[in-house]
Structure 1
Amino acid sequence: MPARFFEGHDGSVSRAVRAFPAAGVLIAAGPALVLALLLQMDADPLLPVVVALTVLTILTGALHEDGLADAADGFGGGRDREHALSIMKDSRAGSYGVIALILSLALRTAALAALAEGKAALPALGLMAAAAISRGLMVWHWAALPSARPNGVAVAAGRPAAASRTFALTSAALLALLLLLPAVSPVPVLLAGALAALAALGVTRLATRKIGGHTGDTIGATQQASEIVFLASLALIA
């Protein structure tokens, strides 16, 4: 891959960020299929949605949920930058993290269940589209900030360059549109995407103020926040 797509590191994961939105769709495809099949059985939408999110969490190893919980604990409980970073490095879950996880699962469950009341395919397509959008915005957050730690996991992976960030964002938007156009018009998709971007911006500004940069946890928190807002927005306006 040409050097312009990453900065400062050879062989790091930052080379692969352009594929993150597509990878997100592939990861979400199995849970989306499970969701679509269970909804065809005329079950109450709540059960298929919970089963699908359970499968998705197992497939991802709760990687981004873990980042959300750690970031919530650090931002909520940290007295200052160093204290927040210390809390985020602690593997134990605090009250802020637990509440963040409960809200994440509850909001995504409610949004997908609401989408199931409309067109049958919409929840499954929305789940895959949200996976693409949230991972594109995750790359944007990663590229927008320096590493908050001099020797953290994120800095070891390298910082995505502008070309990689742009490619990830563009491909995420296109994938979301292509996935959802069979079920809804472009306007709700674009509005939901814009609101998800605002959520990612909010996490980025909060990370800047609290710890002065990104960590692996804030990258995961950005993915979760933008996915939640995208699904909730789509449920409200589609």
Structure 2
Amino acid sequence: MTMPPFLRNILIACGFLSRIQIPARLFEGFDGRFAPIAHTFPVAGFLIALPGALLFWLLLMLGASPLVAALLALGLQTLVTGALHEDGLADCADGFGGGASRERVLEIMKDSRVGSYGAIALVLSFTLRAAMLAALAERLSPLAAAILLPAAAALARAFMVTHWQSLPSAREQGLAAAAGQPDVFTAAMALAAATILAGIPVLAVLGLPALFLALLLAAIGAFLITRLAARRINGHTGDTIGAVEQVGEIAVLLAFSLVA
């Protein structure tokens, strides 16, 4: 039985965005260009965040501290993704913080070592997300708080695609360049998919104002990073795409915690 193309693309996206093992046969005939299937990234993000959400719910049901539960859930989520987006955030912070020229920024971002700016960015990312998840757990039921984690992951990955589409690749070679560039329709489809997928639990738990505020704050975060990347390196890299995802999660969780 042949797998439907949309489902196959979701699984390929899961393999690209995480360490989840996808059967090799699904990649037969795939040319390595992820841009045309970027509209599936929000769905993949939602699925990738489910293990962390399940752990978050389970720990809360067992009486764990909301902050401890949030930190452990984020830790599991990071293991599932292989810290893909966290690495991008750290590299961007180091590059934009320490590079004076375009060439130097790109050189720093390519360096695997984490500097002061990157370390601070990672601490802030984990601290802010954990604090906001803990705040949600204190105000909502365990299940309601937990389902907002994959909703945030889906929305963040939609803005990751919009950033990717908005700028050309800053490098002629590299992962982002090899993956191609999504077109406007693909980016719009990603945003629509994320809004629908995340909108179901968000509307059920927090209502329309929370969804609207989440989209607004995530859009502002993506816009600011896109403007910064355009000014400093004249394009996007895999690291700037990852940074947009992290900032998007922070923005969405902030919106949820403000409304809850």
- Normalised TM-score (structure 2): 0.86
Query: Match for 1:114: what amino acid?
Result: A
> Hey, what does 2:26 align to over in structure 1?
none
Query: Match for 1:80: what amino acid?
Result: S
Larger RCO: Structure 1 or Structure 2 (Cα < 8 Å, ≥ 6 residues apart)? 1
5+ residue gaps, structure 1:
2-8
2:104 is equivalent to residue 61 of structure 1:
no
How far residue 185 of structure 1 moved from its aligned partner, in angstroms, is 1.0
Query: Match for 2:178: what amino acid?
Result: A
Query: Match for 2:103: what amino acid?
Result: E
Of 72-81 and 171-180, the range deviating more from structure 2: 171-180
Task: List per-residue Cα deviations over 1:195-235 (Å, max 9, x = no partner).
Answer: 11100111111111111100000000000001111101210
2:177 is equivalent to residue 180 of structure 1:
no
Task: List per-residue Cα deviations over 1:62-86 (Å, max 9, x = no partner).
Answer: 0000000001000000011110000
Distance 1:38 1:181 in 2: 24
How far residue 123 of structure 1 moved from its aligned partner, in angstroms, is 2.2
How far residue 182 of structure 1 moved from its aligned partner, in angstroms, is 2.1
Equivalent in 98, 103, 108 of residue 129 of structure 2: 108
How far residue 181 of structure 1 moved from its aligned partner, in angstroms, is 2.0
Percent identity (aligned): 52
Equivalent in 85, 88, 110 of residue 89 of structure 1: 110
Task: List per-residue Cα deviations over 1:6-27 (Å, max 9, x = no partner).
Answer: xxx9651112211100000000
How far residue 140 of structure 1 moved from its aligned partner, in angstroms, is 0.3
Query: Match for 2:208: what amino acid?
Result: P
Distance 2:257 2:69 in 1: 16
How far residue 162 of structure 1 moved from its aligned partner, in angstroms, is 1.4
How far residue 42 of structure 1 moved from its aligned partner, in angstroms, is 2.1
Matches within 5 A, 1:122-141: 122-141=144-163
CA contact (8 A) 1:128 1:179 kept: no
> Hey, what does 1:5 align to over in structure 2?
none
Distance 2:212 2:61 in 1: 28
Q: Secondary structure at the match of 2:191?
A: helix
- Normalised TM-score (structure 1): 0.94
Matches within 5 A, 1:1-238: 11-120=32-141, 121-238=143-260
After TM superposition, which residue ranges in structure 1, 4 or more long, deviate above 3 angstroms?
Answer: none
How many residue pairs are counted as aligned between the two chains?
A: 231
CA contact (8 A) 1:142 1:159 kept: yes
Task: List per-residue Cα deviations over 1:25-71 (Å, max 9, x = no partner).
Answer: 00011110111111112221111111111110000000000000001
Distance 2:57 2:211 in 1: 20
Query: Match for 2:230: what amino acid?
Result: T
Distance 1:167 1:10 in 2: 21
